[in-house]
Amino acid sequence: MAHHANLITMGLAVLALAHSVNGRSAEQRWHPLENYMVEYAMSGSQSGTAIWRSRNWGREQVQENDYVMKMAGMSIPTKNRIINKGREIITIDLIQNTATQTENPMFDSIAAKMNDKDPVEFGKEMMRAIGHQQTDEKKSVAGESCVIWRNTQLGQEVCMTEDGLTLWSSTNMMGMAMTQIATRVDREDSGPDSAYQVPAGMTATQAPNMDDIRKMMRGGK
């Protein structure tokens, strides 16, 4: 459920490419905005806050989560920061004070599909590929206008601006319902440098990548 709320924004986040891919220039814009920050309030099965930060035309993105998930009578807290830079994904658990680094398994395939396309149009292409359909319905959220995209299979509605920001999402799947709504939008400030870094005194450990996992499943071959 945590990832469903930002499913579309995550679709753009996996394009956070800091280096050239297959000979293509690192100057490719992976998001139409050079910098932005969106703050969210979360309610329902997950209650709390989230912040999405992006800079350098989407090549560096950070998601900060601080919420409690209610499930089967339990309350499970999450407080983390997920940093995307090129192939690198760093997940910082601010409760356990640990950091894990791994490679984005979708990096190469999405970069190849991007192929110098307009980031807005490619974002819409990705949404359709995962089952979202654009509607004629609009909402006003945090002083912004957005258009609703609907995915009946996932039980999700997402409201997107014309420049690729998720302002509102509602998910109802497998008996769990959650709403996430933007409370503040800033297209100039992407946050401090520290938000894009592992906190001082903490070292990120390397998690197995997909190739390593496949080798382990094949008995090390």
pLDDT in tens, 105-126: 877 777 777 777 888 888 888 8
Average pLDDT of the residues in 40-69: 96
Say what the pTM is: 0.82
Q: What would the DSSP string read from start to end of 88-145?
A: EEEEEETTTTEEEEEE-TTHHHHHHHHTT--HHHHHHHHHHHTT-EEEEEEEEETTEE
Residues 6+ apart with CB under 8 A from 214: none
Q: Is the pLDDT of residue 181 over 80?
A: yes
CA angle 38, 63, 160 (to 5 degrees): 45
Of the candidates 53, 75, 57, 74, the one whose C-alpha atom is nearest the C-alpha of residue 9 is 53
Report the pLDDT value the prediction gives residue 219, as an integer from 0 to 100: 61
Amino acid 215: pLDDT:
56
| pLDDT for 52 | 97
Answer with the residue of higher pLDDT: 213 or 15: 213
Cα dihedral sign, 183-185-39-171: positive
What pLDDT does residue 207 have?
80
Per-residue pLDDT for 213 more than 60? no
